[in-house]
């Protein structure tokens, strides 16, 4: 079955510390992978995406993610967290197979940042 797992429901880090949010997927076809961020009271904003090529992708707001096919993972990282990064983060996976192009969503990781 196709699925996306974000193992950490909630993470708290100190401002300035590094961050890694985990995402594991189960998907039969070649995946397209996405990370979104949702700030309180806001819609979801695309942070970055992986379709093909270099497995380390850079996104907005200083985030990056690495696709590891052997581990079925697409973890999000940031070297130094800012207080404004406190938000909900969602991983999603899709495929270019067929016309549907459905996205499978993780349940999200809530990030709190201590001053």
Partner 1 sequence: DADVTQTPRNRITKTGKRIMLECSQTKGHDRMYWYRQDPGLGLRLIYYSFDVKDINKGEISDGYSVSRQAQAKFSLSLESAIPNQTALYFCATSDLQGQARFFGPGTRLTVL
CB of 69 to partner 1, least distance (A): 18
CB of 65 to partner 1, least distance (A): 14
Complex with partner 1: residue 15 or 64, whichever CB lies closer: 64
CB of 108 to partner 1, least distance (A): 6
CB of 82 to partner 1, least distance (A): 22
Q: How far apart are CA 113 and CA 16, in angstroms?
A: 9
Strand partners, 36: 46, 90
Complex with partner 1: residue 65 or 81, whichever CB lies closer: 65
Q: Would you tell me which residues interact with partner 1 (CB under 8 A)? A: 32, 34, 36, 41-46, 49, 51, 90, 94, 96, 99, 101-103, 105-108
Complex with partner 1: residue 46 or 56, whichever CB lies closer: 46
C-alpha distances out from residue 11 to 3, 8, 24, 28, 55, Å: 21, 7, 17, 29, 25
Complex with partner 1: residue 18 or 26, whichever CB lies closer: 26
Q: How far apart are CA 109 and CA 91, in angstroms?
A: 9
C-alpha distances out from residue 72 to 18, 59, 112, Å: 22, 20, 26
């Amino acid at each position: 079955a196709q699925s996306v797992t974000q193992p950490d429901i909630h993470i708290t880090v100190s401002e300035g510390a590094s961050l890694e949010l985990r995402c594991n997927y189960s998907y039969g076809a070649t995946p397209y992978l996405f990370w979104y961020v949702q700030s309180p009271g806001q819609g979801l904003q695309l942070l970055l995406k992986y379709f093909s090529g270099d497995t380390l992708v850079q996104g907005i707001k200083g985030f990056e993610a690495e696709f590891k096919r052997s581990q079925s993972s697409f973890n999000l990282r940031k070297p130094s967290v800012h207080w404004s990064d406190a938000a909900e983060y969602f991983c999603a996976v899709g495929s270019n197979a067929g016309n549907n192009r459905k996205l499978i969503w993780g349940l999200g990781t809530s990030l709190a940042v201590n001053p």
